[in-house]
Structure 1
Amino acid sequence: MDLVIEQPTGLFDKIFIEALKERKIYLNQEIDASVIEIICATIRQINWEDTKKNIPVEQREPIEVYISSPGGSSYDGFAAVNAIVTSKTPVHTYCEGYAMSMGLAIFAAGHKRFAYPYTTFMYHEVASGVFGKNIEIERQNKENKRIQGMYDNLLMSRTEMKKTQLDKVKKDSLDWFFDAEEALKMGLIHEIVK
């Protein structure tokens, strides 16, 4: 079964569909279930097609994910992270404008990572708005700590970021913004696109 795509209705749809045929995926909005569903399904489909054609992993054409996202849902974002890190077909991530919060995590999941010169990255502590009884708030705090641990471990395992750096940002309640040059020094990106 090949990648089946409905007939496009507008110019943007036509561009998006042509990009998918070329193994290019665009994440240029807030992260939620609907956008992540497309990303995960496309990565799985391309892997299935490459496997069906018996293309050895080292000879597979990479999937390119272009990111310019402010972040969004952690749970949905980690679905994309899982699709990327478990993909046998290489997934290269490109940051075109900004990768913030969960967008940063998805970017970091790439097997090879690229950024353009005027890119901005942002890391911060996981946030949620929880109301209710104390027991409900305590349960949500415990879950937030679990998600934060996953987020931090992903970044530390794929870069040279240190726990002390990340802990300082959280302790100071900061949003940590940095550019492509700093990201290159930290091992977040492999190359700046020039």
Structure 2
Amino acid sequence: MALHIVHFIGPINHHSASSIRNNCLQALQNGATEIELHMSSEGGNMTAGFALYFFLKSLPVPLTTHNIGSVESVAVVIFLAGQKRYACPGTRFLIHPLHWGFGSLVAADHSRVSEWRDCLDFDAERYASIFLEATTAAGCPTDIRSNLTGNARIFDADGAVKAGIVHRAVQAQLPAAGSTCHWWN
């Protein structure tokens, strides 16, 4: 078995999502039979986050995700791509209302504002469905729709176990030097 561990700490954006994707593709090219993603992220860009989630779900090898700090916002969606999911004791997960930034945009017409609202609603439903599917598969269906449009919700590691976000709260362990390969961005 060739375990490859991808280490990621930082915001989710198109660059970081591409870096994680590239690390996983390099791991596969180097014979990975299993990939672990050790991550801590404050979240970020929804488009990049969903794209990375669907990429990770497409991997032809088992993926384990491990929260090593905080996993927040769209990073929770990415985290849920793991078939096995763990959190270090003392870590947290944050689910909060989705929002978009508009960069340097200073004007918009009615139809553009409607489009943005529809996209936010679509992303909130997509997020909630992924969350519900993952927690149901873990035997603890948890509906977080109200947290995506109203009050934020924080799960500590033990709460994440009860909610089905993780299978177990356990300290991440790096294997002794040997056949494990490490990737980072």
Q: TM-score, normalised by structure 1?
A: 0.76
- Report the CA distance shift for 1:94/1:34 in structure 2 as closer, same or farther (over 3 A): same
Deviating more after overlay: 22-31 vs 135-144: 22-31
Deviation at 1:22, TM superposition (A): 6.0
Q: Does 1:88 align with 2:88?
A: no
How large is the RMSD of aligned CA atoms in angstroms? 1.9
Partner of 2:28 in structure 1?
Answer: 47
- Give the AA of the match of 1:174: N
Identical residues among aligned pairs (%) = 23
Of 11, 28, 34, which residue of structure 2 is paired with 1:30? 11
Q: In the alignment, is the contact (CA less than 8 A) between 1:91 and 1:112 conserved in 2?
A: yes
- Structure number with higher helix proportion: 1
Q: Structure 2 CA distance, aligned partners of 1:167 and 1:98?
A: 20
Q: In the alignment, is the contact (CA less than 8 A) between 2:38 and 2:68 conserved in 1?
A: yes
- Give the AA of the match of 1:99: V
Partner of 1:98 in structure 2?
Answer: 70
- Report the CA distance shift for 1:162/1:193 in structure 2 as closer, same or farther (over 3 A): closer
Q: In the alignment, is the contact (CA less than 8 A) between 2:142 and 2:164 conserved in 1?
A: no
Q: Does 1:191 align with 2:172?
A: no
Aligned pairs for 1:1-194 (under 5 A) are 23-50=4-31, 61-130=33-102, 132-159=108-135, 160-163=140-143, 166-171=144-149, 173-194=150-171
Partner of 2:183 in structure 1?
Answer: none
Name the larger-Rg structure.
1
Q: Structure 1 CA distance, aligned partners of 2:112 and 2:65?
A: 37
Structure with the larger RCO, 1 or 2 (CA within 8 Å, 6+ apart): 2
Q: Structure 1 CA distance, aligned partners of 2:155 and 2:60?
A: 30
* Number of matched pairs: 162
Any gaps of 5 or more consecutive residues in structure 1? 1-20, 51-59
Q: What secondary structure, in the 3-state scheme, does the structure 2 residue paired with 1:88 have? A: coil
Kindly provide the CA deviation profile for residues 34-80 of structure 1, in whole angstroms up to 9, marking residues without a partner as x: 11111112223333554xxxxxxxxx642111111000001111121
- Give the AA of the match of 1:44: L
Q: Structure 2 CA distance, aligned partners of 1:183 and 1:38?
A: 27
Q: What secondary structure, in the 3-state scheme, does the structure 2 residue paired with 1:23 have? A: strand
Deviation at 1:115, TM superposition (A): 0.5
Q: What secondary structure, in the 3-state scheme, does the structure 1 residue paired with 2:50 have? A: helix
Any gaps of 5 or more consecutive residues in structure 2? 172-185
Q: Structure 2 CA distance, aligned partners of 1:149 and 1:82?
A: 16
Q: In the alignment, is the contact (CA less than 8 A) between 2:39 and 2:66 conserved in 1?
A: yes
Q: What secondary structure, in the 3-state scheme, does the structure 2 residue paired with 1:78 have? A: helix
- Report the CA distance shift for 1:78/1:170 in structure 2 as closer, same or farther (over 3 A): closer
Q: In the alignment, is the contact (CA less than 8 A) between 2:95 and 2:148 conserved in 1?
A: no
